[in-house]
Structure 1
Amino acid sequence: MTRISVAIGACLALGPAPVMAEQKAMTAEARIPADLHYLLSTPRGYEMSGETYPLIVWLHGGDQGGSEIEKVRSSGLPALIEGGRDIPFIVFSPQNPSEELLYPIEKVKAALDEVMDRYRVDPSRVSVVGYSRGAFGAWAMAEQYPETFAAVVPIAGGGNRHYLNRTNEKAAFWVFHGTDDEVIPLSDSVVLYERLKTLKRDARLTVFENTSHQAVEAAALNETGLWDWLQKQRLASKPTP
């Protein structure tokens, strides 16, 4: 049996060399459409003014995704605006097209760029605020687009702490969570906050006692000082397009 195996091996060795698979270098030409539904509001006096304004990207929670834009009005920052709250920002509220998946942040960024081209936005004063699934999006956008956001406000969400070193050193973070969150554990926010402090980022953490996942959204948006804090955040001045 040994002699037969050796003979077969010798015959194979003398046969034709195997054809190597060819790998061609290619470039994709596909384009990602920014086909998102969104709400947009401008502050009082916008139409009569020639000034630029700060902008907030609002990323909603998981129960408002899909294609019915009216769902986005039901809570969070859009609900405050619907209720008559005067928000001194342009507010861009894109709808997650999926009811199950995380925000497609590339599409959100493309739509944000379009809004910034159409409206008088101060590019040094753009913030992202997200709740729950939207907070995951806020963390991801801060990491993926560090030159865009002066302030990042994740409410009851989590993210990838290993990429926080990519965030802008000049950006400010205010993280919110509730102690009784039964959906996203408080530890998810704590780990990210501690990583930011290790990186010497401007970061603060507010933990609401006896507060559930559902209740922390309103608690954060009604936090004393949040809006003044957002007004003050600014990256280095960028040239106006």
Structure 2
Amino acid sequence: MSTKLDSKNIYNFANFLIGLFIVLSLVQIIVEALAGYRFYLFSPYYEPWIILLTIVTIAVMLVLLWYFRTKNYRIAFIAFLISSVTSLAFTLMAYLALSDRDLQKSVPWAFVILLCTGIIYSVSLFTSKTRHKRWLFWVGAIGFSLELILLVLQLWALNTDNAAVPIIIGKVLLWILVLINFNMIFYILNFKEELDLLKSEAKTEPSNLFTGIRVGLGIVSLFAVLIVLNVATSEYAWEKGKVARSKLMVGDFEAKIYVNAQNDTLLYRLQLPKDYDSNKEYPLVVNLHNGGGVGTDNLIQLDATTTAQLLSTAENREKYPAFIFLPQSPTNNGFGGISDDPGVSGLVFEAMDQLEKEYNIDDKRRYVVGMSTGGYGAWYFIGVKPEKFAAAIPICGGGDPKMAAKMTHIPIWAFHGKTDKSVPVHLTQNMIKAIRKAGGSPKYTEFSAGHLIWDKVQSTPGYLDWLFAQKRPD
């Protein structure tokens, strides 16, 4: 079979791959817009989806590299090879960063590098020999314009102190990515033009190999798209329902505000013990919300503070009378323990002191419970203020082992999921090992699960009895 006859099959296969890539990339953008990080961190379908997308991407890259090499477009070949390697390296880095907070800081700058290599490739298309191919010329010209806009916006987001700017730019970026995705259609038009040039050649039989791959990839992709779109819409509905769910949980949780001498403000909710008697002392349970409670509405932390929900049931209010304190963090840095940012931890401690002036709180029975972002906070609280707490329950959070020596006298029961992608399990394991090495005796329960382990924690026998049995010695 001649090279020209083989080329017909390859050009047809290339158009199938590029069309499939466009569809999958658009679905990926939709998933990003609807579900965001929750799809990547919590869905069991994330890895298979990324594998499928990566396989199709690599196949498209190989076909284009074959085309540039066959046509002797050396500059475009080299530029695209560099851009392809950078793209695959960025994909790997972004995946690893999901479970590595330190690596997450480098991802935005890696994206800048990716855009720069993409711009170089785009320039090669409308300045080298490929400029004589009209559709490749437009791939380069339009791609260059869009990637340059992306680069400017990304650099702006990285160098501004205005917290609102990155959020707005992030939404704009998605639309530009859609346009870049549609720019791939010009590749299809280019290969169609190549096929038209081969029409005069003898007919060739369709390749059984390419046909089989098309059918297999098509079926797998169809099921994958339906699954991930279903997951994304479910996550979107969950996110949009936070306010409504929180309003249903308000009950006796009163909205309060603490303002210190420097005019720093902490929003929080407080539930008093049932039938509060000012002549009796009651424990205080500090509930630190997960990332879903971040905001400034003094409401949605109710939906993101699962222990508080459990303690506020009629049965548990009767069994464990206590003050339930729910501070709200306005940023993802939460309550400390993430990077070097203390978050709103200082304000929480000040608000606790203020509450003890207003109510009869037992200073020997202050407890802190937190999950995810709040889990980081729970570890941080007992590290920087060990004298304040009688017990702590950090759930799927991370701490600093250097603080372990300060925690040896505090009863701790930590929980984590073995396959947690959001907060790697070794962060809790390292804390437990460090505290035990320093002389402490923390309890630790590890589940065969991912990040969302609240139902398993809630069903753990005796964990609330254990919490309320703890008391600081005189």
Superposed pair shares fold, TM > 0.5: yes
**One-letter identity of the residue aligned with 1:226:** Y
- In structure 2, runs of 5+ residues without a counterpart are 1-259, 336-343
1:44 aligns to 2:282 (yes or no): no
Alignment of 1:227-238 (within 5 A): 227-237=464-474
- Residue 60 of structure 1, aligned match among 289, 296, 306: 289
Distance change >3 Å, CA 224–CA 36, structure 1 → 2: same
Q: Check the 8 A contact 1:44/1:86 in 2, yes or no.
A: no
Correspondence 1:2-41 to 2 at 5 A: 32-33=262-263, 35-41=265-271
Query: Structure 1 residues 235, 66: closer, same or farther in 2, change over 3 A?
Result: same
CA contact (8 A) 2:294 2:334 kept: no
Percent of aligned pairs with the same amino acid = 28
Task: Report SS of the residue matched to 1:39.
Answer: strand
Q: How far apart in 1 are the matches of 2:346 and 2:263?
A: 9
For the residues of structure 1 that align with 2:263 and 2:381, how far apart are their CA atoms? 18
Q: Structure 1 pair 130/32, CA: closer, same or farther in 2 (3 Å)? A: farther
* Contact 1:51 1:120 survives alignment (8 Å): yes
Q: Within 1, Cα distance between the matches of 2:467 and 2:310?
A: 16
C-alpha separation between the residues in 1 aligned to 2:261 and 2:397? 30
Report 1:1-241 matches (<5 A). 32-33=262-263, 35-47=265-277, 50-75=279-304, 76-81=306-311, 84-87=314-317, 88=320, 89-98=322-331, 100-103=332-335, 104-167=344-407, 169-209=408-448, 211-214=449-452, 216-237=453-474
Instruction: Give CA deviations for 1:155-178 in whole Å, capped at 9, x if unaligned.
Output: 0000111122123x4310100001
Contact 2:266 2:327 (8 Å CA) reproduced: yes
Q: Which has the higher helix share?
A: 2
**Higher relative contact order, structure no. (Cα contacts within 8 Å, ≥ 6 residues apart):** 1
One-letter identity of the residue aligned with 1:95: Q
Give the RMSD, CA atoms, in angstroms.
1.9
CA distance, structure 2, for counterparts of residue 190 and residue 218 of structure 1: 21
Distance, in Å, in 2 between the alignment partners of 1:82 and 1:90 is 10
Contact residue 32 and residue 107 of structure 1 kept, 8 A:
no
Q: Alpha carbons of 1:74 and 1:102: their partners in 2 closer, same or farther (altered >3 Å)?
A: closer
TM-score by length of 2: 0.41
Would you say the 8 A contact 1:150–1:170 is kept in 2? no
User: Which one has the bigger strand percentage?
Assistant: 1
Q: Computing the radius of gyration over CA atoms, which structure comes out larger, 1 or 2?
A: 2
Call closer, same or farther: CA 1:81–1:229 in 2, change over 3 Å.
Answer: closer
In the alignment, the residues of structure 2 paired with residue 129 and residue 164 of structure 1 have an alpha-carbon distance, to the nearest angstrom, of 18
Residues 170, 235 of structure 1: 8 Å contact kept = no
Q: Distance in 2 between matches of 1:46 and 1:91?
A: 12
**Deviation at residue 198 of structure 1 after TM alignment:** 0.8
Q: Render the CA deviation track for 1:191-236: whole Å, top value 9, x for unaligned.
A: 1011111112131100112x2212x123223421111111111112
Q: Deviations over 1:57-79 (max 9, x none)?
A: 00010121111222112141233
- Could you tell me which residue of structure 2 aligns to residue 24 of structure 1? none
Q: Distance between the aligned counterparts of 2:416 and 2:315, measured in 1?
A: 23
